[in-house]
Amino acid sequence: MKKALILSVMVIFSLFAVSSAFAGAAKCPQPRKTKAAPGSIAKKDMTAKADAANGKKLYNKTAKPMACKMCHGEAGDGGGKLGKALKPAPRNFACSATMKKVSAGQMFHIIKNGSKGTGMAKQKLSDKEIWDVVKYIRTTFVK
């Protein structure tokens, strides 16, 4: 009797552990609602001279209206606290199957202008700050 009880408690705990492991990261491959940037902007890439350390600060703390990690997650996997409630879900930057279609210029364009019909608002950042955060994301999460 006691054994059965211990066993069922263990089963419940392991189910819980499995489901909470899945609750974080967004799907991969991930459907994309965001539209393509104009070709000339999509091909632009100014990350060579950008400052990834400043990008990290923006991503995790100082970006306006809100730190990117609130939705995209500290691990860049789309698992941020606020992101869970959003449909479509925030981009999972760690998902290479989806990110191979997303260029640095595409990211710049969406961060600057927002993505209509999604929770991705245009950010109040200077062009330099946007390239900094694009560099941080691409060098840290995108494989």
Whether the Cβ atoms of residue 75 and residue 92 lie closer than 8 Å to each other: no
CB of 49 to ligand HEC, least distance (A): 18
Among 106, 131, 138, 141, binds ligand HEC (CB under 6 A): 106
Whether the Cβ atoms of residue 55 and residue 134 lie closer than 8 Å to each other: yes
Rounded Cα distance, 53 and 82, in Å:
24
Size of the site for ligand HEC (CB under 6 A): 26
Question: Would you count residue 104 as binding ligand HEC (CB under 6 A)?
Answer: no
Rounded Cα distance, 128 and 143, in Å:
23
Q: Which residues contact 45 (CB under 8 A, 6 or more apart)?
A: 103, 104, 105
Whether the Cβ atoms of residue 134 and residue 76 lie closer than 8 Å to each other: no
Among 25, 50, 52, 68, binds ligand HEC (CB under 6 A): 68
Stretch that binds ligand HEC, among 2-10, 12-20, 41-49, 64-72 (CB under 6 A): 64-72
Rounded Cα distance, 3 and 8, in Å:
9
For residues 24 and 88, which CB has a smaller minimum distance to ligand HEC in the complex?
A: 88
Question: Would you count residue 72 as binding ligand HEC (CB under 6 A)?
Answer: yes
The binding track of 24-63 with respect to ligand HEC, each residue x by CB under 6 A or -, is --------xxx----------------------------x
Structure tokens at 97: 């199957």
* Interface with ligand HEC (CB under 6 A): 32-34, 63, 66, 68, 70-72, 82-83, 86, 88, 90-91, 102, 106-107, 110-111, 115, 118-120, 123, 133
